[in-house]
Amino acid sequence: MSNRQSLIRRLEDRSAVVGVIGLGYVGLPLALAFSEAGYRVLGLDIDPGKPRALARGESYFRHVPDARVQRALDNGLEAGTDFSRAEEADALIICVPTPLNEHRDPDLSFIVNTMESIVPHLRAGHMVSLESTTWPGTTEEVLRPRLQQAGFSVGRDVFLAYSPEREDPGNASFTTATIPKVVSGSTPACREVAEALYRGVVDEVVPVSSTRAAEMTKLLENIHRAVNIGLVNEMKIVADRMGIDIYEVIEAAASKPFGFVPYYPGPGLGGHCIPIDPFYLTWKAREYGVNTRFIELAGEINSDMPRWVVSKIGEALNSRAKPIRGSTVLMLGIAYKKNVDDVRESPSVEIMHQLREHGAAVEYHDPYFPRFPTMRRYSFDLESQPLTAESLRDYDCVVIGVDHDLFDYERIFSEASLVVDTRGRARGDSDHIFRA
């Protein structure tokens, strides 16, 4: 029996061990999904805090219940930081970050370091699947050569695949298992193994012809959202100048049963995907002499939204004869979107930073963050402030930066003396509520 046939058989009868490298927002739900599907799962991460928490049966994400972690432990889940244990797994799935560097160029150091850590422990019959979002060609140009340099024949000795993650933290309508999974392989044999791997854990597998096509698929998904959000953000600014309620316009347009998909404006883009991923394609496109002007324009509009929000806060304060400098401002929500405990690329945090640069005294309230988390670009020595009727009245301005469902909006709008709403939670006219 060939390595391919043997591995597919073990994947199909669930005797294979699945290793997940990177136990963050993508890797942890994936590891739990494989465990729930009946596989023995090994998780690896460079952060020792994550395996320690999992060993205690504790989740470090609010949208992942402790009970799921405990069930996975009962089913044999193990987690650690020793990458030599990679040899114990039959399939290794890489779910590590792909940020941008200070020049907004792709940073593949997490992928490269992971490959260098696991290659010495690979054996014939192993599979490696990359899920991190990246530029088209990464699997073939960065991962495959490292396997070949180690003496492996890709598609015969080891199997290499790409399957972009599609996690949406906080989305109660979809789970890892119910979101269709795009897969491809470095060779036809690799793709066949990848299909067998993911068929065991997701309801629908969507094979594509090449890893480059799979990599481009992920970028198209996120660029589609970035461009449309950029469009509606620009429409919001135009509507604001014209005195038109953009949310009323969106709802009316959405009544059309074909040809229109509603997107909603906000204070800017956040999270690990949409603000980052378009730059992976623009960077790679330059290698082919292509200028992605449309994508870059949308990025400029979205990146500029926090500055526009700050200008609206200034207008709101001016209506009360107050400058930004010296004013007290409360930011409601510092996550990048509602109902998640994730601040990566959060526009709320950038707005706080800009307000502080203008001389405002800025505090925040967010039930998902009792204390302001450590971030690479920002440093706030703050704790989440209690939200009381008295405190709402005391601030010069309250800014709704994130529309968490936990917030009592009726109370906020009735008690705060001045509100700037960046998420469209306020409807109707009021002289103390400003849209931004």
Contact 166, 219 (CB under 8 A): no
Contacts of 156 (CB under 8 A, 6+ apart): 2, 3, 4, 189
DSSP label at residue 46: S
Strand partners for 130: 94, 162
Mention every residue, 6+ apart, whose C-beta is less than 8 A from residue 436.
267, 308, 309, 312, 313, 399, 420, 421, 422
Q: Is 190 a catalytic residue?
A: no
79: β partners: 43
Distance (Å, rounded) from C-alpha 68 to C-alpha 58? 9
Domain 3-209 in CATH 3.40.50.720? The answer is yes
Distance, in Å, from the CA atom of 196 to the CA atom of 18, rounded to the nearest integer, reads 12
Beta bridge partner(s), residue 434: 420
Matching CATH topology for 3-209 and 235-435?
yes
User: What is the reported pLDDT for 59?
Assistant: 96
**What single-letter amino acid sits at 415?**
E
pTM score of the predicted model:
0.92
Identify the pLDDT of residue 63.
87
Q: Which pLDDT tens digits describe the chain residue by residue (436 residues)?
A: 799 999 999 999 999 999 999 999 999 999 999 999 999 999 999 999 999 999 999 999 988 999 999 999 999 999 999 999 999 999 999 999 998 887 778 999 999 999 999 999 999 999 999 999 999 999 999 999 999 999 999 999 999 999 999 988 878 889 999 999 999 999 999 999 999 999 999 999 999 999 999 999 999 999 999 999 999 999 999 999 999 999 999 999 999 999 999 999 999 988 777 778 888 889 999 999 999 998 999 989 999 999 999 999 999 999 999 999 999 999 999 999 999 999 989 999 999 999 999 999 999 999 999 999 988 788 899 999 999 999 999 999 999 999 999 999 999 999 999 999 999 999 777 889 999 9
93-111 burial: b if 16+ Cβ within 10 Å, else e: bbbbbbebeeeeebbbebb
Residue 350's Cβ-count burial label (10 Å; 0-12, 13-18, 19+) is: buried
End-to-end CA, the chain: 64
For residue 105, the model assigns a pLDDT of 85
CATH topology (fold) of 235-435: Rossmann fold (3.40.50)
How far is residue 244 from each of residues 236, 239, 248, 321, 402, measured CA to CA in Å? 9, 5, 8, 25, 22
User: Catalytic pick from 95, 190, 273, 397?
Assistant: 273
Q: What are the sequence ranges of the domains in the chain?
A: 3-209, 235-435
